[in-house]
A and B are shown apart, each in its own frame.
Chain A
């Protein structure tokens, strides 16, 4: 069996909770496992609301934070042990697109600075002319021209243009994996389609896999192949996107899907959600299912231990809920 592109094994990240900080522990991510195959290229969605741990996951994959326990393996190697040329290779092959298209630019430099950085530091092996041509080509893919944007300062471009330049940069690197953290949340509806379309193009034509992190299930439904739905640090349900969204099994995921407003005035939400306690405040590690306070099907069983993932439906769909214990 071929080595998967990215393998996350039981990743756990706990903040605080040190020697002098009893009571301030936050379990951001708990026992998260996910595999992205080398082939074919897939778009894997990690969906969740605030506090679900999806941003922590993105930061861990990109190497900005280290895990409390568990491993992240890229092509079989633990990323926390990468050095020298292997580390450079990781930086080349794993790219990112972030949510805020303004923050990612250093306001002191012109827009082309983001390209200059990678050309200087990632040993791409291009001559100046080749690099320039590649930059132009990547900008064309997102509908921009070099002369429009490269010599300008970030504040002189619109939000949509800035985000497109970021996508172009990711495209130019020809990476194997792109971590896209809410890439279209801060962008207008008109550009959303274009950016998502570029993502699809990258997958189909260049074989780039994506980890698409979002809270918006509608766009996830449009472009995701697989989906992992997180709730307060753990996987609630995972499987093929069409399966999970059309036939959700986990009570939280069911509630989530039912709450997404359908853009059709004839299809209203239905009855008011009854008996749903408001979202709880963050709390310490506790055993048992995190969704217990809000779950309409809660049982005593659920408080004893965190439910593992049980198979539901077909095609490898799984839900972490004792309702599906065989």
Chain B
């Protein structure tokens, strides 16, 4: 019997009465190097609500993958979580032993990593790998029940039943990726982190896999964090977007304002430089990450590239302000609140 529909732990709710599945508070992650600590994630806070897909975007080096790994407690050394709090359905994930983490992972939080299709064991049939995941976390299952459950999972992700007997190399790239999605939803976790789940796929297959993810979200009510840099894909898939720059969150907004009314100068830059297949326009030129992540400047991390930089920006980092309902931005253009430490 699957655990579909049962919440394992009482979820918490925020002030608007929405159920909060993931609550990240002031997460800080550093990488230690001989030349000084690289501040990869500099105290970020955000929530993910039930049944929504949140996009996490930013250029390379902004810390989005590190943050995701931090939530999963899989930060590779020499990275280290320095502080903050991570709550899934109200229960803390920091300070747990490795054993406790192992029990909770996959049941409360699943991951679809980048290039997931390459993480399938080539000498095991696909069904065995999914069965493995289920049995490891839920204990022994009667064989015919297990088979039905796996076939149900296949149907959910659009894989034909014949995949039940196949090895990974007998599947195409898109099918392998959908098998990985099936593995991620096998234990019906409330939250899935998808790290660029379609990056290795062709455009047409990408669409099929992305629509599979949307379908899964609709049917199971699972929440997702979609990490990526393809803004087109984000526009099609996510409900809200979190924009990161140099280890900080600069803007959190529902998806339409992100594209039609971006507030933070960095988001504006990001949106204006997306090449579109609908419109030919001159490409906007800009420079990349400008400062050494080991020595962030005092004040706002975007100060060197910001066309609207002011004096206060160079002294103290701005705090997140809710400018519109649900639309948060950390920028002195919209208010004078400074970030507490």
| Contact present between A and B (CB < 8 A) | yes
A50 to B258, CA, bound (A): 32
A158 at the interface (CB under 8 A from B): yes
| A218-B275, A264-B259 known; A189+B236 contact, CB < 8 A | no
**Does A245 reach chain B (CB closer than 8 Å)?**
yes
Chain B contacts of A151 at CB under 8 A? none
Chain B positions within 8 Å of A278 at CB level: 172, 174-175, 205, 208
Q: Does A150 contact B (CB under 8 A)?
A: no
Inside 8 A of B256's CB, which chain A residues have their CB?
Answer: 265-266
Flag if A158 contacts B288 (CB, 8 Å): yes
**A189: contacting residue among B59, B207, B278, CB under 8 A:** B59
A274 to chain B, nearest CB (A): 11
A265–B283 touching, CB < 8 Å: no
Query: Are B231 and A263 in touch, CB under 8 angstroms?
Result: yes
Segment from A18-26, A92-100, A253-261 that makes contact with B: A253-261
**Are A189 and B270 in contact, CB atoms less than 8 angstroms apart?**
yes
* Residue pair A189, B229 in contact (C-beta under 8 Å): yes
A residues 178-197 near B (Cβ < 8 Å) are: 188-194, 196-197
Task: Please tell me if A281 contacts chain B, counting CB pairs below 8 Å.
Answer: yes
Identify which of B203, B230, B286 gathers the most chain A CB atoms within 10 Å of its CB. B203
Q: Is A292 an interface residue (CB 8 A)?
A: no
What is the 8 Å Cβ interface bit string for chain A, positions 210-224, against chain B (1 contact, 0 not)? 000001111101100
Give complex CA distance A254, B119 in Å. Answer: 32
A189-B274 contact given A215-B202, A260-B232, CB 8 Å threshold: yes
Q: Which residues of B, 247-270, contact A by the 8 Å Cβ criterion?
A: 255-256, 258-259, 269-270
With A158-B288, A190-B59, A261-B232 in contact, do A222 and B204 touch (Cβ < 8 Å)?
A: no
Using a CB-CB cutoff of 8 Å, which residues 134-189 of chain A contact chain B?
A: 143, 158-160, 188-189
Q: Which of B232, B259, B283 has the largest number of chain A CB atoms within 10 A?
A: B283
A residues in contact with B288, CB < 8 Å: 158, 160, 188, 190-191
With a cutoff of 8 Å between Cβ atoms, the chain A residues found around residue B285 in the complex are 193-194, 197
The answer, yes or no, to whether B72 is at the interface (CB within 8 Å) is no
Measured in the bound complex, the distance between the Cα atoms of B279 and A219 in whole Å is: 11
A272 within 8 A of B: yes
B13 at the interface (CB under 8 A from A): no
The answer to whether A265 touches B59 (Cβ under 8 A) is: no
Q: B223-258 vs A: 1/0 string, CB under 8 Å?
A: 000000111111110000000000000000001101
Q: A261-B210, A264-B235 are known contacts. Are A193 and B203 too (CB-CB below 8 A)? A: no
Interface residues of B, CB < 8 Å — how many? 46
A190-B59, A193-B283, A263-B235 are contacts. A273–B202 as well, Cβ < 8 Å? no
Q: Is the CB of A265 within 8 A of B270?
A: no
What separation, in Å, do the CA atoms of A233 and B234 have in the docked complex? Answer: 31
Given contacts A218-B276, A263-B274, contact A280 B172 (CB under 8 A): yes
Give the contacting residue for B273; candidates A193, A255, A261; CB below 8 A: A193
Q: Which of B205, B211, B230 is within 8 Å of A279, CB to CB?
A: B205
B123 within 8 A of A: no
A265 and B259 in contact, given A193-B283, A245-B277 (Cβ under 8 angstroms):
yes
Is A49 part of the binding interface, using a Cβ–Cβ cutoff of 8 Å? yes
Given A188-B59, A260-B232: A255 touches B280 (CB 8 Å cut-off) = no
Alpha-carbon distance between A259 and B283 when the two chains are bound, in angstroms = 23
Interface centre among A196, A255, A259 (most CB of B within 10 A): A259
**Pick the contact of B287 from A190, A217, A222, A262 — CB < 8 Å?**
A190
**Which residue of the partner chain, among B206, B215, B232, B273, contacts A190 with CB atoms under 8 Å?**
B273
CB distance from B25 to the nearest CB of A (A): 28
A residues within 8 A CB of B273? 189-190, 192-193
| B122 CB, nearest partner CB in chain A, Å | 15
| Chain B residues in 8 Å Cβ range of A219 | 275
Q: For the complex, is B35 an interface residue (Cβ under 8 Å from A)? A: no
- Please give, as numbers and ranges, the residues of chain A lying within 8 Å of B258 by CB-CB distance: 265
Interface flag for A131 (CB, 8 Å): no
B173 in the interface, Cβ–Cβ < 8 Å? yes
- Across the interface, do B204 and A262 meet the contact criterion of CB distance under 8 Å? no
CA distance A262 to B271 in the complex (A): 12
A271 closest partner in B (C-beta): B211
Question: C-beta contact mask, B177-213 vs A, less than 8 Å → 1, else 0?
Answer: 0000000000000000000000000111111101100
5 nearest A-B pairs in the assembled complex, by CB-CB distance: A261-B232, A49-B202, A193-B283, A259-B207, A218-B275
18 A-B contacts, Cβ less than 8 Å apart? A49-B204, A158-B288, A190-B287, A192-B283, A215-B203, A219-B275, A221-B276, A242-B280, A259-B203, A261-B210, A261-B230, A261-B232, A261-B235, A263-B232, A263-B259, A265-B235, A273-B208, A278-B174
Which B residues are closer than 8 A to A by beta carbons? 59-60, 172-175, 202-208, 210-211, 215, 229-236, 255-256, 258-259, 269-271, 273-278, 280-281, 283-289
